[in-house]
Chain A
């Protein structure tokens, strides 16, 4: 189980490329290998099965022929035993006519099996008397040894594997002998039948080709006949080794005579042929392996390369490099994925640039604001000194100026960047008090803020520059001016987060000129000398809330100018 788990973990840990590679390789290679081996084996097994059937049939035929031959020998033997002429000739061989009759009988009787065997008649002492063999038959056979002894002892037709060392004719492989006895039971001689190598060749010849081997074995397994004359003794002795070659060997034992016939046929597909087929299979397998390797490699590379590029690009993005791009010519899903990735990184990069720029601008603005700030404690103390000095000297305006200025200062240097509208209006009140002393009641100020909007959050000190602008520029030259701050909210979608807050500062003065109106209302007004306060307000609004918010101005019909700050409603 551990091995299985280990394998599973190993496969899971394999890189994507190798998993595709090995997967493709196995899917392509295993069926080809299995089918190759399987086909060769089945082909071989099928042919062998067919050959085995043929061998069985051939063996039956061979046995039948052998049985018929031996049966005909027995019939001939019995014919001889019933011929009284044989016994007379054995006793008296001086009568030529009797001898001629016996020869005639001999040839007539053995006519059918003449080509298969040679027939001879030996007397009781083992001397040759008659023979169908015209060449050189053995002049005598030992009567107390071998064939004749066996025939004498057992009676009837006996068969004998010829002893190669005592036989004067090496051609004779197998013999049969039948004891001839006269009617009184006395031994007169023997009918001897010789089977030569040629005899068996004629008998079995039509059943084998030159490449097949037929062997006839006696009861003890000793070789009587082998169809291959070049088989020496060593080949016969190494018979078991022959069986393991690329040949089919089947044996069949004759039920009547106990002789075994062995038939060895060449295998339908020889070992070299099988080896060749295996070699070809192996070569094909190697070619397929090579092809699979190439295709798998190309396929896995084709799939894994974009994925790997994406992975590497993601790694770089994780490291902060948004400039990475994937270049591909592919038009498939992976190509589209790469393009989407490129688009995503491009947009992310642009967005980040905007954010960074915003932050930078905000930092610049904040820095400039901070640069305008003095040491607050010093200013407070100074103002406090001024206030108390003025009270001691009974000057009523100076304390008011000092106190409101101190409030404004305290408010402006607080760390909070946002404040409520209500708080902002209180600071505006302080500022108005100072300006009223400066301009000695030349204008009237009021604020109309719905109570629902009092706690709306706005950037700190966002209204003061507008009020200052209205006093200094709007009411310039007016003796009874009017400044009003009012606010309203608009909600077109019903969503509170999308509610817009408009805070307007209006005056009834001479009105802003057209160029100034256009500058204030433009979405991205350039920096302008003498109007840094307005410029800062516009920048703060756009940086905090986006380009859709900002400042707008228009001339009132009854005279004067209204400047409106637009920003989203946010509450603490």
Chain B
């Protein structure tokens, strides 16, 4: 007959465990964190943070921000987990949004009437957020009048070797767009990419401010920046000027879209409307050096009105160009890294 009495060794073991358990340090309760809205963005923090903060102030929602590149977005789309991943895609390349338009919920913004027609989705699958044109910025103290860059091929000139400020295209969607535009403005995109990487001396910057700073202080002769940033620098009195690359102007249009079947569609739609509201678009121009997609919000003085910019050709091919550019860039970077290791 089995005995119910606790054996002494078991008793001591239990006592020891209780002793240790009783003396364990108390763990703090986890902070409750159930978001009311999950926003995916590939914008820079300087752009998305003030807008999301303001929306949070106004709506009182608990917002979670997920930052990633358009490739991560593509990965979620391929895995068919986008609706679990986020509620709204904010400030992502419009070409990508157009390419995957079946994954977005049709939504017509309350400000649709004020949006510039050439930059909107025909099927109302996405809503534009901002538009910018990329320029080649140069330091007027370093680059003489005779040496001025003219187009994307100027960045391959030997005199600019190691003196070009360019952000890592793996980290910035805008710079990936610029790289693909430059590559496909020539007949030999792969050769352009290889020559460009060599002229960069395989060195890139990690933020837009670092790019502008490098050109402003003369460490780099030229750099690629949004036109609005360049204009703001010029207006602030920096020794810089800029040119629009001849032949192949690079227009970066980004937009927002509500993910089809997302968990918080109401909040997502409200947020998309907020991004094209007059307040946000004004802040975009006044404080964030971006060009508004609204026709009733004027750009910075000195910049062309939006209607005079060449309209974006939002072909799915642009996404392919960007994918090809990114793949090529990664290959070149990897090969260079291996070569460095061999040395």
Which residue numbers of A lie inside 8 Å of B, CB to CB? 1, 4, 34, 37-38, 41-42, 44-45, 48, 142, 144-146, 149-150, 160-161, 163-166, 220-221, 240, 243-244, 249
Contacts and interface: CB of A to CB of B under 8 A. Distances in A.
A244 B286 CA distance: 43
A51 to B, nearest CB: 12
B15 to A, nearest CB: 9
Given A144-B282, A145-B279, A166 B50 contact: yes
A163 B53 contact: yes
B23 A243 contact: no
Contacts of B31: 221, 240
B77 interface: no
B217 interface: no
Interface stretch (B54-62, B170-178, B188-196, B228-236): B54-62
Nearest to B16: A34
Nearest to A146: B54
Contacts of B50: 163, 165-166
A259 to B, nearest CB: 15
Contacts of B278: 144
A160 B16 CA distance: 52
Nearest to A217: B31
B49 A165 contact: yes
Contacts of A1: 2
Contacts of B33: 221
A38 to B, nearest CB: 7
Contacts of B279: 144-145, 149
Contacts of A4: 7
A146 B54 CA distance: 6
Contact of A38 (B7, B19, B56): B19
A45 B20 CA distance: 11
Given A4-B7, A42-B23, A45-B23, A166 B283 contact: yes
Given A142-B286, A165-B46, A249-B28, A41 B7 contact: no
A41 B287 contact: no
29 contacts: A4-B7, A34-B16, A37-B19, A41-B19, A41-B23, A44-B23, A48-B25, A142-B282, A142-B283, A142-B286, A144-B279, A145-B54, A145-B282, A145-B283, A146-B54, A161-B53, A163-B53, A163-B54, A164-B49, A165-B45, A165-B46, A165-B49, A165-B50, A166-B50, A166-B287, A220-B56, A220-B62, A221-B33, A240-B30
Nearest to B48: A165
B28 to A, nearest CB: 5
Contacts of A146: 54, 57
A35 to B, nearest CB: 12
A1 to B, nearest CB: 7
B19 A150 contact: no
Contacts of A48: 25
A163 B57 CA distance: 11
B246 to A, nearest CB: 34
Interface in B8-45: 16, 19-20, 23, 25, 27-28, 30-31, 33, 45
Contacts of A220: 56, 62
Contacts of B287: 142, 166
Contacts of A44: 23
Nearest to B28: A243
Interface string B242-258: 00000000000000000
Q: Which 9 A-B pairs have the closest CB atoms?
A: A41-B23, A165-B46, A163-B50, A166-B50, A243-B28, A165-B50, A144-B279, A165-B49, A166-B287
A320 B56 CA distance: 102
A55 B88 CA distance: 42
A269 B283 CA distance: 50
Nearest to A250: B28
Interface in B245-291: 278-279, 282-283, 286-287
A328 to B, nearest CB: 38
Contacts of B20: 41
Nearest to B46: A165
Contacts of B282: 142, 144-145
B25 to A, nearest CB: 7
B94 to A, nearest CB: 23
Nearest to B45: A165
A160 B23 contact: no
A161 B56 CA distance: 12
A486 B306 CA distance: 165
Contacts of A45: 23
Residue among B46, B278, B279 facing the most chain A CB atoms (10 A cut-off): B279
Given A42-B23, A163-B49, 16 more contacts: A1-B2, A34-B16, A142-B282, A142-B283, A144-B278, A144-B279, A145-B283, A146-B54, A149-B279, A163-B53, A164-B49, A165-B49, A220-B56, A240-B30, A240-B31, A249-B28
Nearest to A40: B23
Nearest to A7: B9
A42 B30 CA distance: 26
Interface string B161-205: 000000000000000000000000000000000000000000000
Contacts of B54: 145-146, 163
Contacts of B56: 220
A179 to B, nearest CB: 16
A224 B52 CA distance: 16
A249 B31 CA distance: 13
B315 to A, nearest CB: 33
A193 B57 CA distance: 18
B284 to A, nearest CB: 11
Interface string B88-108: 000000000000000000000
